[in-house]
Each structure stands twice: as C-alpha cells, then as structure tokens.
C-alpha cells in the first residue's frame, strides 16, 4: 500500500473516531459546535502542514532525479565521444 492510501485510511479513521466521540460526548450542543470548529481548523492546519511537507519532499526527489538523469546523459555523451575517437583511429 502506498503512502497516500495509508494517510487516506488514517484520516478516515480519525474522522470516524471523532464522530463517534462527539455522538457520545456529555456536553451541550454549543460547546460541541465550538469544539468541532476548533478541531476542523486544527485539521486544516495539519493537512496544510502535511501537504507542504509532501511538496518539499517531492521537490527534493525531482531535483535528485534530474541530477541522476544529467549524470547518465553526461556518462553516455562521454562514452559516445570515446567511441567516436576509437572508431576514427
């Protein structure tokens, strides 16, 4: 299972657990709504932070990939140049 599916399953589990907890919570509706609003804001912040982290990691992997491709292209170019020198001799 890839990381996206794991995080999606985790978030669904968190939401389900929160819903069950709210249904059985012994507090007033107003207090529950305030708590829900606060929790939703916190969840939004968490998701933004997670998205930023994923974006940072993705950028790093793209940079590494480009570097690896450039290295392979340079090596191939050097090999072609060396082969041309050998063939011309």
Q: Structural domain boundaries of the chain?
A: 3-88
Question: Which residues in 21-33 are b (16+ Cβ under 10 Å) and which e?
Answer: eeeeeeeeeeeee
- Region for residue 2 given its phi and psi (left: phi exceeds 0; alpha: psi -120 to 50; beta: otherwise): beta
pTM of the predicted structure, to 2 decimals: 0.48
Task: Give yes or no for residue 29 having a pLDDT over 80.
Answer: no
Spell out the residues 6+ positions from residue 50 whose beta carbon is closer than 8 angstroms to its own: 7
Distances (CA, A) of 72 to 59, 64, 80, 86: 20, 12, 12, 21
pLDDT, tens digit (0-9, with 9 covering 90-100), for 30-89: 888 888 899 989 999 999 999 999 999 999 999 999 999 999 999 999 888 888 888 876
């Amino acid at each position: 299972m890839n990381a996206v599916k794991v995080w999606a399953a985790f978030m669904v589990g968190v939401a389900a657990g929160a819903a069950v907890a709210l249904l059985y919570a012994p507090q007033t509706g107003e207090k529950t709504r305030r708590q829900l609003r606060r929790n939703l804001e916190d969840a939004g912040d968490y998701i933004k932070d997670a998205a930023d982290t994923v974006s940072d990691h993705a950028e790093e992997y793209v940079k590494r990939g480009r570097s690896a491709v450039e290295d392979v292209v340079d090596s191939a170019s050097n090999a072609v140049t060396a082969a041309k020198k050998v063939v011309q001799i």
